[in-house]
Amino acid sequence: MADGLRFGPLTQSTVHLCVDMQRMFAAGSAWQSPWVERTLPTIVRLAERSPDRTVFTRFIPPIDGRDMPGMWQTYYARWPTMTRRHLDDSQIELLPSLARLAPPAFVVDKTTYSAFSAPALPQWLAQHRVDGLIVTGAETDVCILSTVLAAVEFGYRVIVVTDGVCSSSDDTHDALLTLYHRRFSEQIEAAPADEVLAAWPPA
């Protein structure tokens, strides 16, 4: 469900935040999201528009699940092959069509779902006086959800690009877009990439 940019054009201080578009979420991985390839061209368009106003996050699994606190150990007991003890290092890298844009795009590594769990992100956003976030990436109902709610807490204008987020579950993807519309309509907007690009002025 998308209502478009209800609060008008974006500012020059709006940044594209692309979450976890990595090789390990593409085809052939235990964590593959079938939509990655479908949404990638849209995400590339946004990133190419202004690489210096783009931030990529990478989800970095632990070497061993027992290195993580609490219920993360249970999580990695379910996914032992996705720890770095078993995962090839190349799988952590951004997808090639995005990796070529960094730098000037900024890359933030994180070990949990929210992009804001990495101190480097809020520091960079504050340093660059960012006032809004265009959010793309994977997955709508996990890391995107956690990141978007954290961005709301920080007071950022948040725009979820409806054709630039992906999930391995159609049902929960749709449910999250409905949640943003019904429960966060004053803080989260959802719009397609064409509308976002038309409203995002050059730096």
List, for residues 75-121, the tens digit of each pLDDT value.
Answer: 999 999 999 999 999 999 999 999 999 999 999 999 999 999 999 99
- Whether the CB-CB separation of 164 and 138 falls below 8 Å is answered with no
For residue 152, being part of any structural domain is answered with yes
Residue 172 has pLDDT above 80, yes or no: yes
Residue 1 binned pLDDT confidence (cut-offs 50, 70, 90)? low
What are the phi and psi torsion angles at 188 (to 5°)? -130, 130
**Does residue 1 fall inside a structural domain?**
no
Instruction: Establish if 141 belongs to a structural domain.
Output: yes
**Total domain count for the chain?**
1
Q: How confident is the model at residue 180 (pLDDT cuts 50, 70, 90)?
A: confident
Q: How many helices (H) and strands (E) does the chain have?
A: 7, 6
177: domain CATH number is 3.40.50.850
**pLDDT-derived band at 2, boundaries 50, 70, 90:** low
pTM of the model: 0.95
- Examine residue 85 and state whether it is found in any structural domain, yes or no: no
In a domain, 82, yes or no: no
Q: Which domain holds residue 174?
A: 14-55+93-199
Collapse the DSSP code of 104 into the 3-class scheme (helix H, G, I; strand E, B; otherwise coil) and give the result: coil
Is the distance from CB of 17 to CB of 156 less than 8 angstroms? Answer: no
pLDDT of residue 176: 86
Q: Is 28 helix (H, G, I), strand (E, B) or coil?
A: coil
pLDDT band at 140 (very low <50, low <70, confident <90, very high): confident
Is residue 46 assigned to a domain? yes
Provide the β-strand partners of residue 17: 55, 135
